[in-house]
């Protein structure tokens, strides 16, 4: 792979697991140590005894011993330390190169090909945040201004400039309820530690990519990946055909909430008709369609469905 990609987002756990499999472990740093030592010993010495009977008799006696030893020591040492650190970006490029060399990754071209033929997939696409997450941020931003809006609506309704104390308390309760609802929806959306981004090729949305937030700030990450052309590397978790669609609210608290409301409505209607004729199949069917009706109303405001064919990807990296 000759193209040098710069990762804007990295799923470190996914990347290191892949690198560990491909390379039987990965080195983050390497230390080289070299040493050289030479030595020799030299020693020179002598000892002896000279004896004489007198100076004049010219009689002398020599008794002694001579030892010779060389003791010379010269020691030299050379040490060199070299530490090379490998960044996650370098590991990412090595992993991509190996994936292409081993033919473990395919470039997306169309839905007509077998997308699950290889473990990894690479897609060049534009990215946009999910509408639901964007709406939550807008509502969160304007929620402090709801007080003035309610005061204005109440004043126009009652044709008076001042609002009664009871109405003021009701306004406060409504605002507090809306704030709590927005906070809970945002918390529910992010509690899975995943941020969803829509991927487009041309004017058509071809799927959604899941980004593992880990310790990342979702707002910062969304800003970095919004409105641009990126290369997405990851694994496919779901594919749908042209007769199906992906519901972007499937893992949101709204889905179980609407399901619960739907079931409660059926139970209430059944209890009301215990003494009368039982509910007909058509009536039960219409009640069970409550959730789909609510989703249809929400879809008028938000893009919550992706029509097939489409895919869902868990991203290992998003690069430029």
Q: What is the pLDDT of residues 235-274, one digit of tens each?
A: 999 999 999 999 887 666 556 666 666 676 666 666 666 5
Q: What is the pLDDT of residue 55?
A: 40
pLDDT on residue 235: 97
Q: State the Cα–Cα distance between residues 39 and 53, nearest whole angstrom.
A: 49
Q: 66 or 221: whose pLDDT is higher?
A: 221
Instruction: Decide which of 38 and 187 is more confident.
Output: 187
What's the pLDDT score for residue 63?
54
Each as own residue / partner, the long-range contacts of residues 49-52 (CB below 8 Å, 24 or more positions apart, any chain) are none
Residue 185 token pair: 């929806």
pLDDT at residue number 18: 95
Residue 126 has pLDDT above 90, yes or no: yes
Mean pLDDT of 294-320: 83
d(CA 171, CA 151): 8
Binned at pLDDT 50, 70 and 90, residue 82 comes out as: low
Q: What is the dihedral of CA 273, 278, 283, 285, to 10 degrees?
A: 120
Residue with token string 């050379």:
78
What per-residue confidence (pLDDT) applies to 175? 72
Flag whether pLDDT at 205 surpasses 90.
Answer: yes
Query: What integer pLDDT is reported at residue 44 of this predicted model?
Result: 45
User: DSSP secondary-structure letter at 24?
Assistant: T
Name the most confidently modeled range: 10-14, 50-54, 279-283.
Answer: 10-14
pLDDT at 185 over 80: no
Burial class (CB in 10 A: 0-12, 13-18, 19+), 284: middle
**Taking 90 as the threshold, does the pLDDT of residue 179 lie above it?**
no
Longest dimension (CA), the chain: 161
pLDDT of residue 79: 52
Is it the case that residue 137 has pLDDT exceeding 70? yes
* pLDDT confidence band for 4 (50 / 70 / 90): confident
d(CA 44, CA 39): 17
Q: Cα dist. 312→9, 49, 239, 304, 318 in Å? A: 17, 103, 6, 14, 15
Beta strand pairing status for 204-212 and 105-107? unpaired
Helical ranges in 102-164 per DSSP H: 131-142, 146-158
């Amino acid at each position: 792979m000759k193209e040098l990609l710069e990762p804007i987002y990295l799923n470190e756990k996914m990347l290191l697991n892949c690198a560990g499999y491909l390379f039987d472990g990965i080195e983050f740093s390497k230390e080289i140590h070299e040493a050289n030592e030479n030595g020799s010993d030299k020693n020179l010495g002598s000892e002896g005894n000279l004896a004489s009977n007198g100076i004049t008799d010219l009689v002398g006696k020599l008794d002694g011993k001579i030892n010779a030893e060389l003791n010379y020591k010269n020691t030299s040492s050379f040490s060199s330390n070299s530490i090379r650190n490998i960044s996650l970006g370098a590991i990412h490029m090595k992993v991509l190169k190996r994936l292409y060399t081993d033919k473990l990754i395919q470039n997306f071209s169309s839905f007509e090909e077998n997308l699950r033929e290889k473990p990894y997939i690479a897609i060049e696409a534009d990215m946009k945040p999910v509408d639901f997450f964007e709406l939550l941020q807008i509502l969160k931003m304007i929620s402090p201004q709801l007080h003035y809006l309610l005061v204005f609506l109440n004043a126009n309704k009652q044709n008076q400039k001042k609002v009664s104390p009871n109405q003021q308390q009701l306004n406060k309760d409504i605002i507090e309820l809306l704030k709590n609802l927005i906070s809970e929806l945002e918390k529910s959306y992010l509690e899975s530690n995943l941020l969803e981004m829509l991927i487009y090729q041309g004017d058509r949305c071809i799927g959604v990519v899941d980004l593992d937030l880990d310790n990342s700030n979702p707002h910062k990450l969304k800003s970095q990946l919004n409105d641009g052309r990126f290369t997405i590397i990851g694994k496919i978790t779901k594919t749908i055909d042209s007769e199906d669609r992906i519901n972007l609210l499937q893992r949101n608290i709204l889905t179980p909430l609407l399901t619960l409301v739907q079931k409660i409505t059926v139970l209430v209607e059944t209890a009301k008709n215990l003494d009368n004729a039982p509910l007909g199949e058509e009536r039960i069917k219409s009640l069970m369609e409550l959730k789909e009706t609510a989703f249809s109303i929400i879809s008028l405001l938000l893009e919550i469905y992706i029509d097939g064919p489409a895919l869902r990807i868990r991203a290992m990296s998003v690069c430029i």
